[in-house]
Amino acid sequence: MRLPVEARHVAPRLATGAFILNSGLVKRKADEETAAQLHGMATMTYPFLGKLSPSAFVRLLSAGEITLGAALLLPVVPTVVAGAGLTAFSAGLLGLYLRTPGMRQEGSLRPTQQGTALAKDAWMFGIGLGFVTDEIARGSCGSRRSRGSGRKRRSCRSR
């Protein structure tokens, strides 16, 4: 049985998966003050999150990060699925960076000292988007069997 992970995806999946899994495990032990800070920052950007208590928000965030980190680390999860989750998660983090006052220098995308912690999440967005586009491109150009003939169609590279 062949795993749904290409060799070129292993290193970025391991790096991002371990990073996100660790973040989720740390948040699982967050105290009330930390939960309130995380929740307060998130609700400034995403007001609908105000319906949750800070502790419920951090529990859900922790569970989401643990799930996403595990999906990236487990080779049985297809890269396109893990990549879609990573892209969505990191897009939410970039939304925090772009919408939270004081995170960026005036009139620029460059981060302030406080914004660096969120701006660095752009690398996760790039990796996730790369996984998704790579899998889509591979699916539309990859070697697949032609219907009924049993013969393989040529990939885009061999044309």
pLDDT at 141: 56
Q: Where are the domains of the chain?
A: 9-138
Q: Residue 143: which pLDDT band, with cuts at 50, 70 and 90?
A: very low
Least confident range of 9-18, 74-83, 139-148: 139-148
pLDDT at 155: 46
Residue whose tokens read 């000292």: 113
pLDDT at 147: 47
Q: Which residues pair with 131 in a beta bridge?
A: none
pLDDT at 117: 87
DSSP string, the chain: ---S--HHHHHHHHHHHHHHHHHHHHHHT--HHHHHHHHHHHHHH-GGGGGS-HHHHHHHHHHHHHHHHHHHH-TTS-HHHHHHHHHHHHHHHHHHHHHSTTSB-TTSSSB-TTTHHHHTTHHHHHHHHHHHHHHHHHHHHS--BPTTT-PBPPPGGG-
pLDDT at 57: 98
How does pLDDT run across 92-123, given as a tens digit for each residue? 999 999 999 899 999 999 999 999 988 888 99
Answer yes or no: are the C-beta atoms of 64 and 52 closer than 8 Å.
no
pTM (global) more than 0.85: no
pLDDT at 97: 93
C-alpha 116/C-alpha 103 separation (Å) is 7
Rg of the chain over CA atoms, in angstroms?
19
How does pLDDT run across 33-87, given as a tens digit for each residue? 999 999 999 999 999 999 999 999 999 999 999 999 999 999 999 999 999 999 9
